[in-house]
Structure formats: structure tokens, C-alpha cells
Amino acid sequence: MINLSYEAFNQEFDALIGNEWTCLFDLNHHKLNLKNRNIATKKFQTIIECVFKLSHSKGFQAMTLRDLSQESGISMGGLYKYFTNKSQIAEMVHTAMVHMAETCLKISDQKEDDPIFELNELLAKHIYLSERLKTWFYFVFMEAKSLEKPLIETIIASEQHMENAIYQLIKHAIDKDLCTCTNPEFVAAMLKVMLQEWYLKTWKYQQKNINADQYVANLLLSVYQLLGVKS
């Protein structure tokens, strides 16, 4: 098992990223000619949180920029300083999510000394990341069908990349004779579903008073059972 908690992850996130809103600014300010970092970061937070709220209540496709202006208290002209259309909003959110995930999860730089440990760490960090960015993950997953095709394809590719990272670690564990798993593709798909379960069905776990740390503990026990990890 790994020695990681949601509190420790948040400290690591803050050290690596700063916070999600400054990350959003840093990734986009050069395209939008926004000079005051503090003001622009606060505006980004207001705008995106209102997008998430409206998307949840009426759907992103049905949301108009006038709706967003009224909800955020920012004029239409003020909104256009941050994006030119709704598609750009969704693209900004997804791009920032991918950047934060790659930074925190380090999917592209997995070490292969202990693939079971690496898999546990990857899954735990993903749960903690989706807990911190729960509204971001929910928005991208639920609204993907209403986005433009190029962005949908990018989102699908991100999902496949994560599932493949899980599969490769399982396969490596099999190759090292650390487990008895005979269907790594299926197990990888099941573990990906269990990751999505956390941020898509928050209400279910809130009712049961299950927090992120408890969910991770049970998820990692499931990993040992699904893989047939050898003692």
C-alpha cells in the first residue's frame, strides 16, 4: 500500500501547480493579453465556477453568454476579454485539467521498479485530483457530448491515455510474476470506471459518509483482489 492522503496530495498539488485558477491564467494569458494576474485569476474563477453552475442546472449547450453574464455579474464585453465563444471555455477547462493531471500524476514518466506500487499511487492520486477538481471533472465528462468534435476527440484520447497507463502497469506486474491477472484489458477498464464513479456519483458517497481517503483505501484493496496480487 502507499502512504498518501488527500491532505498530503493537496500540499503536493499546491507546490506543483499553485492553484487551479492561477494555472488557468498562466496557460491562457499570452493568448488573451491579460496583464494583471491577480485580477484576471479571480475573474477566471468567477467565470468558470458560474459556467459549472449553469451547466449543471440547464446544460452547457443551452447556456448562453448572456446567461453567463447575468450569473457572473460580468458584462458581455468583460467576458469577451477571457474567451471568444463557449467552445473556447470548454477547451480552456480541459487543457488545464490535462496539464494539472500530467503534472500531478506524472503518467508519461512512470517508473517500473514496482508496478503494483506505481499503479496504487496513480489510482490514489487520480482520486485525489478528481476530488480537488470535482466540478471540473464532472463538467468535462457530462458535457463532452455537446462539445465540438475536435475537443471531443481530445477528451476521448485523454481517457484512453489514462486507461492505457493503468493497463501497462498491470501488464508489467504480470510480466514480473507479481500477480495472477489473466485479463489486464478488462481490469484496466474496470479500474477506470471506479475512478469515474468517485466524481460522478458524489451524492452516493456523501450519504454513506465516505471521504476520499476511505474510497482510496477500498479502491486499492480492490486492486489486490482484481489483480490477484501475490504475497
At residue 1, does pLDDT exceed 70? no
Is 6 domain-assigned?
no
Same domain, 101 and 172: yes
**End residue of a domain, out of 72, 89, 106:** 89
Could you give the C-alpha distances from 37 to 4, 16, 101, 186, in angstroms and in order? 32, 18, 23, 45
How far is CA 139 from its chain centroid? Answer: 10
Label residue 228 by pLDDT band (50, 70, 90). Answer: very high
Same domain, 66 and 127: no
Label residue 87 by pLDDT band (50, 70, 90). Answer: confident
pLDDT given at position 108? 43
Does residue 130 contact residue 199 with C-beta atoms inside 8 Å? yes
Same domain, 57 and 160: no
Tell me the pLDDT tens digit for each residue of 20-66: 999 999 998 888 877 788 999 999 999 999 999 999 999 998 999 99
Count of H-run helices and E-run strands, the chain: 12, 0
Tell me the pLDDT tens digit for each residue of 154-202: 888 888 999 999 999 999 999 999 999 999 999 999 999 999 999 999 8
Same domain, 95 and 85: no
Averaged pLDDT, 76-85:
90
Burial class (CB in 10 A: 0-12, 13-18, 19+), 53: middle
Burial class (CB in 10 A: 0-12, 13-18, 19+), 150: exposed
pLDDT given at position 107? 52
Computed from CA positions of residues 213, 217, 220, 222, in that sequence, does the dihedral angle turn out positive or negative?
negative
Give the three-class secondary structure for 179: strand
The CA distance from 125 to 141, in Å, is 18
Is 9 domain-assigned?
no
Same domain, 123 and 152: yes
Q: What residues make up the domain containing 34?
A: 16-89
Averaged pLDDT, 71-90:
91
Where residue 141 sits, what CATH number does that domain have? 1.10.357.10
Same domain, 125 and 37: no
Q: How many CB atoms lie within 10 A of CB 96?
A: 23
At residue 110, does pLDDT exceed 60? no
pLDDT given at position 2? 72
pLDDT given at position 155? 82
Same domain, 124 and 152: yes
pLDDT given at position 112? 54
pLDDT given at position 111? 55
**End residue of a domain, out of 63, 89, 115:** 89
Number of domains comprising the chain:
2
How far is CA 131 from its chain centroid? Answer: 8
Tell me the pLDDT tens digit for each residue of 194-224: 999 999 998 899 999 999 999 999 999 999 9
Could you give the C-alpha distances from 67 to 4, 73, 79, 116, in angstroms and in order? 41, 10, 11, 48
Same domain, 109 and 122: yes
Same domain, 26 and 54: yes
